[in-house]
A and B are shown apart, each in its own frame.
Chain A
Amino acid sequence: MKDPTKIRENRTGAALAPELTAEMLEAVEELSPPAQVGGLPLEPIRAAYVLNAEPAGTMPPAAGLKEMAESVLNAIQGKNPLVLLDALGARLAFERTGTRIYEALLTKARSLDVVEGGPSVADLEAIHQDELDHFRILKDAIESLGGDPTVMTPTANVYAVASIGPLQVVSDPRMGMRESMHAILTIELTDNDGWDLLIRLANAFNQTDMVETFSACSLAEAEHLTRVREWLTAMTEVAATGDLVSDADLTPAS
């Protein structure tokens, strides 16, 4: 795949057509209203809806919780266990989607030439396996609380919406390894903080086994983040300092 920073065919940007842009601004001057000063332009509409909105979705009937072991019930006494189940459901969904995102990335790694400074196929296979393992750990954790791991919880839904962008980038065949790594970085950053939050929550619910298992997962995720940052940095530096764009290429297009 060609490096998109070595080709100059982009047609967006007003500077490419200064005369046409001047005509547009002339029309704005003649036909547009005075600029709005102050205030958030969409707030009048948004505020009314925000005030009256119902949740996008809620937790399921907590039937499974009745079957919780007495020790678990004692541990969570006085707290809302649905917050923990929601967070577990969210992490589970995120790891499951993460597994699929890494599968899309693996195809690129296997199909394209290795990018200098970027991950090897084996590197990505290892992370893919971690994501899958984490998914299974979370499934077991939810079941241990009497929850249903197949539920899409409210926060799982939030992460699903928030993951649409990275998924679109990594699954788009036109976006190469370096472009995909930008999207992977947002996934790993979120993943790291997600595990930290979950460990704090499990701790608050006195789930010592979970804290221990999740801490191991968190360490693995921290390693993923470190490596992704290194790959992205190295690939970007190679792109910047490798085959430099020639002076001729930098001559303004006529």
Chain B
Amino acid sequence: MALNLLKDTGIPLDRQRFTWRELAGPPISKLDDDAFTRVRVILMNGIETESVRFSHSFARMNRDLRLALAQVRRVEHHQQTMVNWLLPADQSPLETTIGYEQVAIEVTASVAQHEPDPYLAQVYRFGMLEDFDHMYRYSALMDRLEGKDANNIVQSYSDITPGRPTAVEHRAPEDDLREPYNRAVAAPITKLNALTIMAAEHQTHDYYMNVGPQFADPSARLLYAEIASIEEQHVTQYESIIDPSETWLEKWVLHEANEVYNYYSCVAQEPNARVKAIWERFLEYELGHLQIAMELFKKIEGRDPAEILPEALPEPIELASQRAFVREVLRREVDLRARGTQFIPADQELPGSPSVEYRNQLSSEGSPSETIAAGYRWQPGTEVTQNPRVVQSGGGQ
């Protein structure tokens, strides 16, 4: 399936219609569907969330484009609804959280391997190791709070072990900013990668901020508060790698192209026929949106979209287990820290540096992620099956 971004027109906007029944269709199965079907649903919800978020910001700053943006945005909103409503009701917020972290690990790892800019590849690897640790902390919480095995969600595709400890991920804002790509020379895939990962991280932040207070257990409330803070840092990191000198219209064209690219990636790999049909339909919708954005780009800025888009799409994002790569990165880079926009070995992070001071203050009453996962070793069927002593009452070591 070869697509030409500049010529394939997709389905025109006036034929992009929904009914309520379509929007709230049957969900996927938590038990029976492949974990990567869930990964794709969560990823595409993030991509659509970003499209709506960006479109609102754009509209608030551009009077003349408000109508065109509103028309496309209404469809994007309904696309997001249809995608997000694929998640089933028996999937608890904590189970969905494990799914979110699997997205963050596997999609970021895939993107890191296909990013041609070595500095940005390093940025992705750096963030990925942090999300990898979140998976471990949330898995410990799921086991110890609910007595459930996180592997029933990840289906053995992702490892559940510590990464860069969440407790040391807390950084001062000046250490979360990165150098942006240069829009004039960056490869198209570089721009798409940045939008994809920024979108995924932003929805993760928003999800944790919404579900965190729904937990009764103080451990869960604390862990969501702590990890949501890292997700805020990740949004800061990933939005900072995007060239801020791109015009609004240029960003719109790139957003639409990225939606095409992501749906294209999903279509190529989806085994669930019903879900695949949704990806195929929305791929056509996004091509329609891209046409509108490109026409306005040409008309208002007098620029050729070919200046920023390739004719052919890059290879699809590989939505599959990246275990070997992740483990290799863990071995080599788990001890990296950030200073300004650069990465440094942990031993070069000096006492009294902004991030160390910030981190020490936040954790001065204890670190939730450390306490919750203390001595946690994932085992098939939860740690209870392997080591009954961990549930003995009476406290103490």
Contact = CB atoms under 8 A, between A and B. Distances in A.
Interface of A: 9-14, 16-17, 20-21, 23-25, 27-28, 30-46, 48-49, 161, 168, 172, 174
19 contacts: A11-B32, A12-B151, A21-B151, A24-B156, A24-B159, A24-B160, A25-B379, A32-B162, A33-B376, A35-B387, A37-B375, A38-B394, A41-B140, A42-B145, A42-B372, A45-B366, A45-B368, A49-B218, A174-B26
A30 B32 CA distance: 31
B391 interface: yes
A21 B380 contact: yes
Contacts of B396: 38-39
B32 A10 contact: yes
Nearest to A173: B26
Given A9-B32, A31-B162, A45-B219, A37 B90 contact: no
Contacts of A12: 31, 151-152, 155
Interface string B365-382: 010100110111111110
Given A10-B32, A45-B222, A172-B90, A37 B395 contact: no
Contact of B157 (A20, A25, A34, A42): A20
Nearest to B27: A174
Considering the complex of A and B, which 10 residue pairs feature the smallest CB-CB distances, nearest first? A36-B375, A20-B156, A14-B380, A12-B152, A31-B161, A49-B218, A27-B159, A9-B32, A17-B156, A32-B377
Interface SS, B side:
loop
Interface string B182-206: 0000000000000000000000000
A42 B375 contact: no
Contacts of A10: 31-32
A14 B144 contact: no
Contacts of B378: 24, 28, 32
Contacts of A16: 155-156
B217 A42 contact: yes
A136 B328 CA distance: 66
Interface string B47-84: 00000000000000000000000000000000000000
B113 to A, nearest CB: 19
B359 to A, nearest CB: 19
Contacts of B218: 45-46, 48-49
B298 interface: no
Contacts of B27: 174
B232 interface: no
Contacts of B274: none
Nearest to A45: B219
A35 B152 contact: no
Interface residues of B, number: 56
A50 to B, nearest CB: 8
Interface in B81-126: 88-90
B397 interface: yes
A45 B372 contact: yes
A27 B321 CA distance: 14
Contacts of B390: 35-39, 41
Contacts of B393: 40
Nearest to A168: B89
A206 B96 CA distance: 51
A88 to B, nearest CB: 25
A174 B31 CA distance: 12
B389 interface: yes
B35 interface: yes
Contacts of A35: 375-377, 383, 386-387, 390
Interface in B120-173: 140, 144-145, 151-152, 155-157, 159-162
A38 B330 contact: no
A34 B389 CA distance: 13
Contacts of A27: 159-161, 323, 327
A161 B214 CA distance: 11
A30 B389 CA distance: 22
A88 B156 CA distance: 49
B162 A33 contact: yes
B246 interface: no
Nearest to B222: A45
B361 interface: no
A36 B393 CA distance: 13
Most A CB contacts (10 A, CB to CB) among B29, B145, B156, B386 go to: B156
Contact of B375 (A28, A34, A48): A34
A14 B156 CA distance: 7
